[in-house]
């Protein structure tokens, strides 16, 4: 018997094909101790028809205008009742029908945590194997996918919801603050939870480095942030050298086999 409860929050806008895949993966789960909340941003494609098709599995859904993805995600949090929240937005899907069951079976043997984070497959089948211990450098340079994290819902009420003024990386900044400012406990689940669709809004956070840096300047001492930034720039240059001067086949091998283990450093 699983003692922890889950709220799955799905945000969508005009992504009917991706939403169908997401909905199928949730509807087919063998794990039952969850509620499912879908927040649609007044889509004008077939999204609402798909939502109605799977509404029998949903605790709540709505289709109305919003001001952005984090506004929609915050709406979902406010409707949620589970102890933990999983943000599985349209286009991402749970790894297999036992994905949640396997994750919660594993959690039963782990320490209590504010955030559980698992492994994931990216949609081109690259495995992102996360380390057992996180660092501020990893969270700053690589981040963790919100699609593969179970976040204690009380954190949002205690520390603040997603910043809706930041359009693309508010989830990244949320994790950085939880780790660095609030010393929240992150525990790794050695399971693949979701398949992450490349091209979603959270996948472009590398282009929003300015927002991340501005937030980090507010929460870190200047000297520590400067050292973090230097590490990031150095690692980026090394990656670019590998991509530019080595054969493509080796680069792919590096991405699929070495990159994941390098996150442990």
Which of 41-50, 79-88, 99-108, 193-202 comes out lowest in average pLDDT? 193-202
**What are the backbone dihedrals phi and psi of residue 213, each rounded to the nearest 5 degrees, phi first?**
-65, -40
Number of domains the chain contains: 1
Angstrom distance (rounded) from CA 67 to CA 225: 31
Residue 31 has pLDDT above 70, yes or no: yes
The CATH number of the domain where 15 resides is what? 3.90.550.10
Residue 1 placed within a domain: no
Q: What is the pLDDT of residue 148?
A: 93
Percent of the residues in the chain that have a pLDDT greater than 90, as a whole number:
66
- Please give the sequence-ordered ranges of beta strands (E in DSSP) within the chain, or none if there are none: 6-12, 34-40, 60-63, 84-87, 93-94, 115-122, 127-128, 149-152, 186-196
Tell me the pLDDT band of 256, cut-offs 50, 70 and 90.
low
**Residue 68 predicted with pLDDT over 60:** yes
pLDDT at 201 over 80: no
In a domain, 245, yes or no: yes
The pLDDT tens digits for 228-254 are 998 888 877 676 666 666 565 555 555
Separation CA 161–CA 158 (nearest Å) = 9
Does position 225 have pLDDT exceeding 70, yes or no? yes
Whether 260 has a pLDDT exceeding 90, the answer reads no
Report yes or no on 119 lying in a domain. yes
More confident residue, 51 or 261: 51
Domain that holds residue 219: 6-262
Q: Which tops the pLDDT comparison, 116 or 236? A: 116
Give the pLDDT score at 122: 81
């Amino acid at each position: 018997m699983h003692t922890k409860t889950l709220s799955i929050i799905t945000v969508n806008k005009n992504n009917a094909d991706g939403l169908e895949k997401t909905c199928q993966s949730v509807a087919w789960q063998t794990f039952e101790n969850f509620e499912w909340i879908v927040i649609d941003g007044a889509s004008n494609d077939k999204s609402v028809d798909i939502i109605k098709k799977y509404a029998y599995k949903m605790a709540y859904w709505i289709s109305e205008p919003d001001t952005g993805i984090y506004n929609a995600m915050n709406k979902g949090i406010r409707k949620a009742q589970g102890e933990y929240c999983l943000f599985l937005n349209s286009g991402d899907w749970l790894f297999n029908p036992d994905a949640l069951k396997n994750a919660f079976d594993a959690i039963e043997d782990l320490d209590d945590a504010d955030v559980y984070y698992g492994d994931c497959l990216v949609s081109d089948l690259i495995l992102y194997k996360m380390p057992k211990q996180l660092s501020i450098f990893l969270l700053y340079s690589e981040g963790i996918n919100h699609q593969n994290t179970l976040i204690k819902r009380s954190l949002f009420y205690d520390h603040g919801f997603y910043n809706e003024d930041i359009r693309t990386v508010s989830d990244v900044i949320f994790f950085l603050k939880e780790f660095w400012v609030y010393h929240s406990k992150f525990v790794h689940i050695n399971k693949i939870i979701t398949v992450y669709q490349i091209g979603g809004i959270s996948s472009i956070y590398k282009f929003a480095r300015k927002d991340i840096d501005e937030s980090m300047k507010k929460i870190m001492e200047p000297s520590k942030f400067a050292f973090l930034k230097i590490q990031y720039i150095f690692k980026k240059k090394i990656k670019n050298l590998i991509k530019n001067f080595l054969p493509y086949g080796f680069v792919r091998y590096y991405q699929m086999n070495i990159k994941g283990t390098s996150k442990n450093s």
